[in-house]
Structure 1
């Protein structure tokens, strides 16, 4: 009988599934990720920030608007060729050589940094979804295991009753079984109530109402996790979008230094001045009524050189700040990656231990303990202790399995690339 109960433990996960209110809700991890990528509000905000930064590039390429000036002579100015009544001017200013290109390069670098921050936000979102999803999978498995153990203890209670009826055991054995049943029922209720906050986390990532019901996830066979520590740390330095965004921030800072230097040079203005002239009062005047047209050039005078020097020093300080910030972020990420790698390897080691040794031995211990109890060679407490050991080992195995997948997801976020097949 015990063997049958233990065999059912491997297939009883389906008994946990409830009929969802919304059949279109995601079930697999890929469906969750796809849904989150399309609907998450924070990711949409990061995308719009990137789009806004892209629109700054054509603005940086543009020249300043031409300036048009109109003048009206309140008192007509009499000249040889006729009275002047109107004056129209147009002037176009051209920044110093290379200013527009440098300004465009800076805007382009800002847009590239925004794109990398969008990618970082997407990786962060995917990590949050994966972590919550694997926690949901763990909860599903934990509930199934708790139900299996509850059925197992109820079976032990029947065995104790049978032995009590035959006077082979005392009434306290039945009471102990009933206490254990009540304890497991309470644990099962606690696990079932944990579903709501986990679903709320997933709904927040999906941009859905937190009370939206989500079906139990579809269980997928996942290959063993294997990563190369040296390769992972090298990938982090090369592909982490936060570090790449800071590289573009450094490029922006370098361009700002160049723009500050160009403030020491004048901008050139080119324009045309047209004076509207009426015909002369005296007939026969040569060029009577001819409108004068004047080609004009202008330069601003960069005389406040102390201010321009301060702007250059400010840009240089911002460049150094970006370099220091990148080094700090890189050190923090590498330290975090080292800790995640340890947790990943530790959870894998524990998973193998529970899979290959502890859970099989605990199942064997339960079967042997029931046989010995039925034969009267061990007491009921030994049987309950064996059951508790099996429950703990099975739950810890599932915890290690979930931790392994969660740490893998965190590592992929840090590296900026998929590490599993």
Structure 2
């Protein structure tokens, strides 16, 4: 009776395990927990803050561009005083302001503004990359935690098997070797659990660093499942990816730089005035005696030797061609990554479905063995073999869920 009671205990426990597995793998649309982590990371991560500060610096460059060249002031004292009809020249003061050609300041502002736009795209890229890292780390944590749950459930089941084996030894239906085999399997599972616990601590540390917070336990969802149908995806979405848009913004900034280079190759005009203090001639009385001198000045700066501007123009043309090639290369890389992620996600779905079938069939096999024990001697070797298979299938199913969402995170980064 005691042995039969243990059998019923195993069967009830197996039902409880199946119920727990259904809870673990039940469909859920609640991703609020992960969304909160991503938002926290974006608000606190130092890399995002650094990129945002860089963007603010680029914006300030626009104000810097809206300036004129320095106003030139000069003053001199005549050590040897030149004599003029109206008197000796004592000192000279001058002021001059150079003015760029019409439209040059606007061209400079447009160029600085285009660089700021490119810097803003860096913010978008940094946030998307951070969201990708947080998402992938989150699902890796989910897998580590749930693998430990599965191991703990199997340890409880093995403990029940151990009791059953000890009872069987007492009535000469099993040998002590069977008990030792169960204990060896328990040792193996305990080792796996301890290794997973260490991996979990390391992964939580990484996750906390992404959130830029003190070390603390990370909560993950209890229930994550793979959707029934594969989401539809348009490959054209890749054209709008920020990493490719960054090349478009840089290309535009080069065009603005070319316009600025053309403006700077035009003459500059300067206006100013010279003032000369004149001393009165003594003992003389005539008009304009000691009259100071004012000299309005007009200056023109002409870039006669404009090899510099022509060289800059050629450099900008080469940079445009370089950006086109870099964009095409990066686009091919992203396209390959997207297609690989889609294929890996399909593979994860297939693995998940296969493991689900394997788990069901392994459970059926175990139930058959347990029912046979009611009328004959229980073959512990077969039971343990089936239990080991179930354990392997359960872990592989969790791994398939993790891989599915790791690839989904990559797909979302590339296509959304």
TM-score (norm 2): 0.87
Instruction: Quote the Cα distance in structure 1 between the aligned partners of 2:86 and 2:309.
Output: 48
Q: 1:157 and 1:260 mapped to 2: Cα distance?
A: 84
In 1, the alpha carbon distance for the partners of 2:195 and 2:373 equals 31
Structure 2 counterpart of 1:214, from 213, 217, 225? 217
Secondary structure of 2:93's match? strand
Retained in 2: the 8 A contact 1:13–1:144? no
How many residues in Structure 1 have an aligned counterpart in Structure 2? 398
In 1, Cα distance between the equivalents of 2:303 and 2:337?
50
In the alignment, the residues of structure 2 paired with residue 375 and residue 288 of structure 1 have an alpha-carbon distance, to the nearest angstrom, of: 140
SS in 2 for 1:52: helix
1:316-337 Cα deviation digits (max 9, x unpaired): 1112111111111111111111
Shift of 1:13: 12
Q: For each residue in 1:239-268, what CA deviation from the matched residue of structure 2 results, as whole angstroms up to 9, or x when unmatched?
A: x11111111111122222333334542222
C-alpha separation between the residues in 1 aligned to 2:346 and 2:404?
8
Equivalent in the alignment of 1:18: none
Match of 2:102 among 94, 97, 104: 97
- Residue of structure 1 equivalent to 2:165: 160
- Local SS of the residue matching 2:75: strand
Q: Distance in 2 between matches of 1:208 and 1:49?
A: 23
Within the candidate set 14, 29, 45, 1:40 is matched to 45
Instruction: After TM superposition, give the deviation of residue 380 of structure 1 in Å.
Output: 1.6
SS in 2 for 1:265: coil
**Distance in 1 of aligned mates of 2:407 and 2:283:** 96
Match of 1:28 among 24, 33, 48: 33
Do the aligned partners of residues 72 and 195 (structure 1) sit closer, same or farther apart at CA in structure 2, a change above 3 Å counting? same
Compared with structure 1, are the counterparts of its residues 172 and 411 closer, same or farther at alpha carbon in structure 2 (3 Å cutoff)? same
Instruction: Report which stretch shifted further, 140-149 or 265-274.
Output: 265-274
Deviations 1:182-237 (A, max 9, x none): 1111111111121121112112212346xx232443435567274323x2x22221
Instruction: Say if 2:369 is the partner of 1:369.
Output: yes
1:84 aligns with 89
More divergent stretch after superposition (301-310 vs 172-181):
301-310
Task: Give the corresponding residue for 2:414.
Answer: 414
Bigger Cα displacement from structure 2, 299-308 vs 62-71: 299-308
1:228 correspondence with 2:232: yes
Choose which of 12, 15, 21 in structure 2 pairs with 1:4: 12
Distance in 1 (alpha carbons) for counterparts of 2:84 and 2:223: 94
Which residue pairs with 1:151 in the alignment? 156
The separation in 2 between residues aligned to 1:106 and 1:168, in whole angstroms, is 88
Rate the CA distance shift 1:296–1:176 in 2: closer, same or farther, 3 A.
same
Question: Which segments of 5 or more consecutive residues in structure 1 lack a partner in the other structure?
Answer: 15-26
Q: Distance in 2 between matches of 1:414 and 1:288?
A: 83
CA drift of 1:137 comes to: 1.1
Structure 2 residues without counterparts, runs of 5 or longer: 1-8, 24-31
RMSD: 2.5
1:64 is aligned to 69
